[in-house]
Amino acid sequence: MKKTLITTALLLAAITVFAQTSDIMVFTIEQTIGKMIDTQEEIKAKEFIFPERIYRSYIDTISKTITVQLRGETINRNRRLMNNTGNIVLYDLSNERVRWSKFISYLVSSVHQYGSTIIFTEADKSYCIDIEYGQNLWEVKNDIYYVDPIANIGIGYQFRTSRGYNNTLEGIDLKSGRVMWQRELNREFAWNNIFRLNDSELMIAAAGIHTVNVHNGTGWGYHAVTGEKDYSGTIAANAAGVALGLLTGTFVLSTGHNLVRDVVSNVHSDDTGFYLASKEKIARINRDNGEVIWVNQFPDGVPSKSLLFANDSVVFMLNYGYAFMGNRQLDYGMPFFAAFNKKTGTQLFFSTINTQKNPILNFKLKDDNLWLIFKDRIIKYSLLNGAQMLEKTINNNDFGELEYFIGNRVVYIDSASYLVNLTSDVSKNYIMASNKILIIDNELNVVGDIGFDQLYVANSRIGDYLLVTQGNKTFILNTDNKKVAEIGVALKPVVVGDKLYSVWESSFFEIDIANLIGR
């Protein structure tokens, strides 16, 4: 919905201005945002308009507040560039007022919210911000990486002025800022992942894998090399730039300009243990104590960023043949597909993937086969012996470069306004290309294509109703998967009571769900 349609006269006639301990002005206006399809009845929404584009937002359903990070844009040579400064604004949804705002420099600062806990990091310090008044409750010389809102503990690395951040991980009481425990945990090649094992234990993937009790920092550690220092390969100069975090999922970047990271797999787990592939080896680790059950060494220069997956008796490894230096992807190692016996670690097969300077973009498992997508081809491998089964080259001139397999969130709505899941027909496969959606049969032949304007993305459910988006529009479907309403913005909704909230450009909208879908 274009903001240019909201004229100055309309705003002056219909707005209410809110300000509380802040010079940030938020305007509200009620307007038509969509319609019911059968009756053509208008759907009304309350729009809250902020002075700049909303860069990030967080709605706390308990305190009924929204925290927004405002970040304006500058037009430079017909390009939109985000400004390096802005404001954090805490808006009270119940009383419709700004509680407080705070300046932020995005070059050196960041803010993250976990429930009612707001952590603001700036340069070498982290602060806990009081959600009610915006004041700093405490500060620590620590870059907080993770917050456990249930235990009310933050985890991050200690800062020392002479050497910068070191490898001393600290647990911090979020009520007082007091350091509760310390533990050495290597961060040289960044954190690759963090996830919860149970109510009190976390798994941190960083230079191996490590369990951490959030209350006292104890746990076991399996150490592995997941990067390379002082890398001087000439291929680094030709590495293609990629959006930070788009492919890696990495939480914290290393800063060395010649330091290669992400030479590691995901952490795969089963009932007995964890599996991890790194720069030197693949290993199975005991779940209870971190002891190595088996290890299989790799030849030098072969591993890279990789993926592990498994069935009942076999763990499979897809090695991509690239890693990252800073935020750049570069050729590293060699692409291959391998399998190992889960119990013994014995290598069952090793298949080289001959796609030099043509990286693996996406994969799919189907009918005991591994399908791989490259920008101009599709290759199918057997999960039984690693043999290449089929390979087809796709003409990029007709469809553009291939990108990824379409998932089950993409739907098609037929001429009668009924929803059909695009992936329901198992005899066909759907691949996103830069110009079209390709329909591929099980022999890798292109048997059709679909235009982007025919597809919708399933967003979320509200009760029995499904929200799907297409471009800048949202459609609501009933239990029969039929369109019942059309809304003129692409909603990413959060429900608070009987209200639906969603951010769009410099505004967020409030829609009464009870009137909309009869809840």
Inform me whether the pLDDT recorded for 317 exceeds 90.
Answer: yes
Residue 365, C-beta contacts closer than 8 angstroms, at least 6 positions apart: 309, 371, 383
Between CA 317 and CA 283 the distance in angstroms is 12
Task: For 516, list phi and psi in degrees, rounded to 5.
Answer: -80, -45
Between CA 30 and CA 47 the distance in angstroms is 6
Inform me whether the pLDDT recorded for 252 exceeds 50.
Answer: no
Between CA 434 and CA 90 the distance in angstroms is 39
Largest CA distance in the chain: 75
Residue 78, C-beta contacts closer than 8 angstroms, at least 6 positions apart: none
* Mean pLDDT of the 12-21 span: 34
Terminal-residue alpha carbon distance, the chain: 26
User: Which CB contacts under 8 angstroms, 24+ apart, belong to 170-179?
Assistant: 170/140, 170/142, 171/214, 171/215, 171/216, 171/217, 172/140, 172/142, 172/144, 174/117, 174/128, 174/147, 176/138, 177/128, 177/137, 177/138, 177/139, 177/140, 179/140, 179/142
The label of the residue with tokens 């030849």 reads 299
Q: Which residue has the higher pLDDT, 461 or 243?
A: 461
Q: Give DSSP secondary structure letters for 450-472.
A: E-GGGEEEEEEEETTEEEEEETT
Helices (H) and strands (E) in the chain, counts: 3, 50
Between CA 516 and CA 41 the distance in angstroms is 10
Residue 86, C-beta contacts closer than 8 angstroms, at least 6 positions apart: 52, 55, 69, 70, 71, 72, 103, 104, 106
Q: What is the pLDDT of residues 344-389, one digit of tens each?
A: 999 999 999 987 678 899 999 999 999 999 999 999 999 999 999 9
> 249: alpha, beta or left, given left = phi > 0 and alpha = psi -120 to 50?
left
Task: For 240, list phi and psi in degrees, rounded to 5.
Answer: -75, 140
Whole-prediction pTM: 0.82
Q: What is the pLDDT of residues 157-204, one digit of tens each?
A: 987 765 556 889 999 999 999 999 999 999 888 899 999 999 999 999
Q: What is the pLDDT of residues 491-501, one digit of tens each?
A: 887 877 778 88
On whether the CB atoms of residues 241 and 228 are closer than 8 A, the answer is no
Q: What is the DSSP letter of 335?
A: -
Q: What is the pLDDT of residues 262-277, one digit of tens each?
A: 999 999 999 889 999 9
Task: For 233, list phi and psi in degrees, rounded to 5.
Answer: -60, 135
Compute the mean pLDDT over every residue in the chain, rounded to the nearest whole number: 84
* Mean pLDDT of the 430-439 span: 90
The pLDDT score that the predictor gives to residue 283 is: 97
* Burial class, 282, CB count within 10 angstroms (exposed 0-12 / middle 13-18 / buried 19+): buried
Between CA 405 and CA 263 the distance in angstroms is 24
Q: Which of 321, 333, 328 is nearest to 359 (CA)?
A: 321
